[in-house]
Structure 1
Amino acid sequence: MTKSLPRSNDKQGFLSIILHAHLPYVRHPEHDSFFEENWLFEAMTECYLPLIGVLDRLHSDNVDYRLTLSLSPTLMTMLRDELLQTRYLKYLHSRLELAEKEIIRTRKQPEYQKLARLYRRFFLNALNTYQEQYQGDLLAAFKKHQATGKLELITTAATHGFLPLLNVSETAVRNQVNTGIATFKANFGHAPSGFWLPECGYYPGLETVLADAGIEYFFVDTHGVTGASQQPWNGVYAPIDCGNGVAAFARDPESSQQVWSAKEGYPGDFNYREYYSDIGFELDADYIAPYILDRKTRINTGIKYHRVTGDNGAKEIYNPRKALAKAYEHAQDFIDKRQHQIDRLGATMDRPPPIIIAPYDAELFGHWWFEGTHWLECVLRLASENSHGVQLAGCGDYLKQQPSPQVATPAASTWGDQGYSSYWINEANDWIYPLLHKAEQEMEKLARDVRGLALTPLQTRALNQAARSVLLAQASDWPFILKSGTTIDYANKRVTDHLARFNYLHDSIRKNRINERYLTALEIMDNIFPDIDFRDYNPPSAGVSPKPGRFNVR
């Protein structure tokens, strides 16, 4: 639904907040429980469910907000996976049980017991929202708010593949983009108008792939527009047309710094909850054993009793009331600074009115920054008030109602460290890419060689599973983890496992010796993209099909 933007004399400028929600595909039915699945459960509890709560309250209060949310295909798939839904309920119940135990344990520590009771209410609210209000379907919640026209939903590449480094093969890039859009359409019934480039990774020519996929706009980092082929008339405060009708919006550095900066950003305030202080690491091992990994490996439980305080000395106890008051204060500061920014821009920009692009990882809000969802709600409420000269806007609506943008080609760029690709290709992870490129080439050749042949259902299944394995191996999360040095062993294993699965399937198909039992096991483990078609690796324009008998498939 397109919402009308105000006339330029009603408001002085626009603010577009974009949240990008993404997690790698982490699902392990071969194990009873798996540590990395907690990444999803923690994000659901601390970010996605609280965000839905924000949207529900705004809707109930008839607040005229605008917000854009990018949902990655891997996240969408996990949120609707029955196994993960069942495991999430078990996770929530275990957290409730731990909160109850904490209320008893802290009975002689009233300040701590207050927090234990807060966590019990928090987990109970999550359970009620998840199970009773939305019957375990969080995508239905987002779809409900999208229908109001106030929430704009977009998506990203299939497995969040880092497109500039996959561009050795245009087919690889196209399949990441097209499979991502197809997954969005399968879940929401329509194609998105916008597209989040993984890690905001852009290279000249990518706009052609996006245009062919029906995308109207995407996002780049600041220098993607400031370094464009033509000097931008309005800096990063208006989109540019890439020359084919696809618009590029650039991140505003000022609004980003206020939230992201480790030194100046709001989340570092001493009053906010300390993410790294968790009872999973602090309490007696025997007591906490039922709530950690395999009863012995300490992990986050989500129950945290301390505030940031500072770099030195013991952390002081967390005070939720002070933290929420600080979040409102920071929201007011954020809006005030956007107003001052728009006032400055108004002196140099008449048409179009400036639009400030503020993109963030969704998981920052609530998960890393516990009070972040409250801050976001306050920002959306404040910006909707007539007393402010800041008007919230979606990029799709902005494009429909503003003059044609300046034509220019953005510069190659990402929002990663140093602004280019160094975080995704370096001494820690550069070994991945020759293997990825080889698998992609072999997948394309395989699809080309079987083109025109009568394939059995088993062969088709194997070819589709091989295509899934390629996409899963291409996820940008694995080189990112290898560089950041967190769960290195897991990232290594994910890359090598998916490539090994592809190689096995490739050889089995070539030799026409497909083990159906093993294929079924792979389909159960990697059950993403149910409508994938391996033929997309050799589209009709790719060339002439081979003569019958050239390939050993019966």
Structure 2
Amino acid sequence: MFTLVLHTHLPWLAHHGRWPVGEEWLYQSWSAAYLPLLRVLRTLAAENRRNLVTLGMTPVVAAQLDDPYSLEGMHHWLANWQLRAVEARTQVASPSRRGTAAPDTACTPEALRTFGIHEYAEADRALDDFATLWRHGGSPVLRELIDAETVELLGGPLAHPFQPLLHPRLREFALREGLADARHRFGRSPAGIWAPECAYAPGMELGYAAAGVGHFMVDGPSLHGDTALGRPVGDTDVVAFGRDLQVSYRVWSPKSGYPGHAAYRDFHTYDHVTGLKPARVTGRNVPSEDKAPYDPERADRAVDSHVADFVDIVRRRLISESERIGRPAHVVAAFDTELFGHWWYEGPIWLERVLRALPEAGVRIGTLADAAAQGFVGQSVELPPSSWGSGKDWQVWAGEQVADLVTLNTEVVDTALTTVDKALEQNSTPGATVPRDFVADQIVRETLLTVSSDWPFMVSKDSAADYARYRAHLHAHATREIADALASGRREAAERLATGWNRADGLFGALDARRLPRP
């Protein structure tokens, strides 16, 4: 059996900047990856194809796809994209263009006019999809695919924390609330989760079992590369499935992965007048200003070639692994969802063709839940501390580069738990239900945003590191100033502060601090 797992995640971006990092990141991923990917899955679902993809959807992404502010912003962004395409297809030689683009390159007026026609059609289609299916949120669109059993939903903890470093009380709360959030949006609790960053610490399987999680993802090295079967962890029935790196890296390898092919659209090359990406990769060492114009027909031929290659790789891997273990094997390829369309423009087309070609080649496709139910599970295993980051350990989230953020997280969590515990205790009356506390809820909400795994990842990878540090300290400041006001008896001030921060950080409306595990 072959399983494709997609992990959909971005941090909370609404109300927190626009360009170059902020809401633009959300809208680019939404338009380039989420819209076309769900279009592909809807097409396959209409053909009665079932159990095709295991789709991880983090609560923080689901919240943004349902958020009225983000929905309005996305509609404006799509309309602006269409306007930029109009600008491209009406390009003429002008002083602003003179001398900026060499002949036969992607940013000449002639090449941009051709590209603008193609891009306008794409934007028009996206606008139509959005207006028809998405204007009331992403949950109804995804729920239809879940109900049709085309996808298996994986959930996760609220705000995507790096769980091994998280206080046990907040870890338990974030996971249970994350599963409840999925139940509210999609009508069912996920049977499995994508553990944020595939991060694991010994004993976490006990928390998974208590929360009703039946399976989760780890990276291949966590199982010493033996990923042909899922493995129950410790003394539990919770199964860890490992990503097969040999198959996964065939697609997403910095040195040899498909998206770097010369025919595909280049992610990094912009036309700085229209803001569009009109070039093809051309060559790994070709400067942006010398990139050739994008050619959809050339790219389409490359897609077919890479579909055939991937199907061959999967078949050979399944055969070799089955021979090695003496029973039918299971291969899991896992990727960030945003690869398909955002980072790799042709990714959704490739994905649709792969999902058609694999069964035609005799490869059975199933979800992680299918694999568990159909016995693709081996002997139990003791997992080491691990992740899918550099070194496959915790260094990206706990290394020297981010030691200050680790300290910040610990301090903020301690402050939040202490303050919330006291507030709930003061509001309790013997024999009566403790009333919900909006201020305590916002303290917990800001704390969860502070400990998002995105911030140390971005710092360690030097990817918008300043923005990441700003966001971590911003949410830490919000937590502290609300908690300080509440702890010092200034209840009205705490309520005003909580209300103000909630305008920007009002996600997870069902979050209830009363459900925090007791100390």
* TM-score under structure 1 length normalisation: 0.85
Q: Does the 8 A contact of 2:173 with 2:517 survive in 1?
A: no
Show the counterpart of 2:37.
51
Q: Does the 8 A contact of 1:115 with 1:305 survive in 2?
A: no
Secondary structure at the counterpart of residue 236 of structure 2: coil
What 5-or-longer segments of structure 2 have no aligned partner? 94-107
Secondary structure at the counterpart of residue 90 of structure 2: helix
Secondary structure at the counterpart of residue 398 of structure 2: coil
Cα displacement (A) at 1:34:
8.6
Secondary structure at the counterpart of residue 75 of structure 1: helix
Q: Does the 8 A contact of 2:267 with 2:277 survive in 1?
A: no
Show the counterpart of 1:434.
407
How many residues get paired?
A: 496
Cα displacement (A) at 1:413:
1.1
Question: Is 2:468 the counterpart of 1:491?
Answer: yes
Show the counterpart of 1:520.
499
Structure 1 507/103 Cα, relative in aligned 2: closer, same or farther at 3 Å? same
- Counterpart AA for 1:359: A
Q: Does the 8 A contact of 1:106 with 1:112 survive in 2?
A: no
Show the counterpart of 2:200.
202
Secondary structure at the counterpart of residue 406 of structure 1: coil
Cα displacement (A) at 1:310:
2.7
| Deviation sequence 1:390-425 (CA, Å, 0-9, x none) | 111111122112176311222211111111111122
* TM-score under structure 2 length normalisation: 0.91
Secondary structure at the counterpart of residue 69 of structure 1: strand
- Counterpart AA for 2:138: L
| Deviation sequence 1:126-170 (CA, Å, 0-9, x none) | 11111123434222111111111121111222111111222xx21
Cα displacement (A) at 1:345:
2.1
Distance 2:369 2:508 in 1: 27
Find the partner of 1:264 among 256, 276, 300. Answer: 256
Find the partner of 2:291 among 288, 293, 315. Answer: 315
User: Percent sequence identity over matched residues?
Assistant: 27
Question: Is 2:415 the counterpart of 1:417?
Answer: no
Two-structure CA RMSD over aligned residues (Å): 2.2
Show the counterpart of 1:298.
none
Cα displacement (A) at 1:92:
0.9
Show the counterpart of 1:223.
221
Show the counterpart of 1:104.
90
Cα displacement (A) at 1:123:
0.7
Secondary structure at the counterpart of residue 191 of structure 1: coil
Show the counterpart of 1:537.
516
Distance 1:501 1:109 in 2: 48
Show the counterpart of 2:364.
391
Distance 2:294 2:325 in 1: 45
| Deviation sequence 1:49-69 (CA, Å, 0-9, x none) | 010111122223444561011
Cα displacement (A) at 1:174:
1.1
Q: Does the 8 A contact of 1:175 with 1:537 survive in 2?
A: yes
Find the partner of 2:453 among 476, 480, 492. Answer: 476
What 5-or-longer segments of structure 1 have no aligned partner? 1-13, 228-234, 289-300, 543-554
Distance 1:129 1:57 in 2: 13
Cα displacement (A) at 1:303:
3.5
Find the partner of 1:331 among 307, 312, 328. Answer: 307
Distance 1:236 1:355 in 2: 8
Cα displacement (A) at 1:376:
0.7
Show the counterpart of 1:382.
357
Find the partner of 1:364 among 339, 342, 346. Answer: 339
| Deviation sequence 1:341-369 (CA, Å, 0-9, x none) | 12212323344x21101110000110111
Secondary structure at the counterpart of residue 193 of structure 2: strand
Show the counterpart of 1:150.
150
Find the partner of 2:52 among 66, 71, 91. Answer: 66
Show the counterpart of 1:297.
none
Distance 1:244 1:512 in 2: 45
Show the counterpart of 1:247.
239
What does residue range 114-129 of structure 1 map to in structure 2 within 5 Å? 114-129=114-129
Distance 2:38 2:517 in 1: 41
Distance 1:188 1:146 in 2: 8
Cα displacement (A) at 1:534:
1.6
Show the counterpart of 1:408.
381
Distance 1:260 1:197 in 2: 20
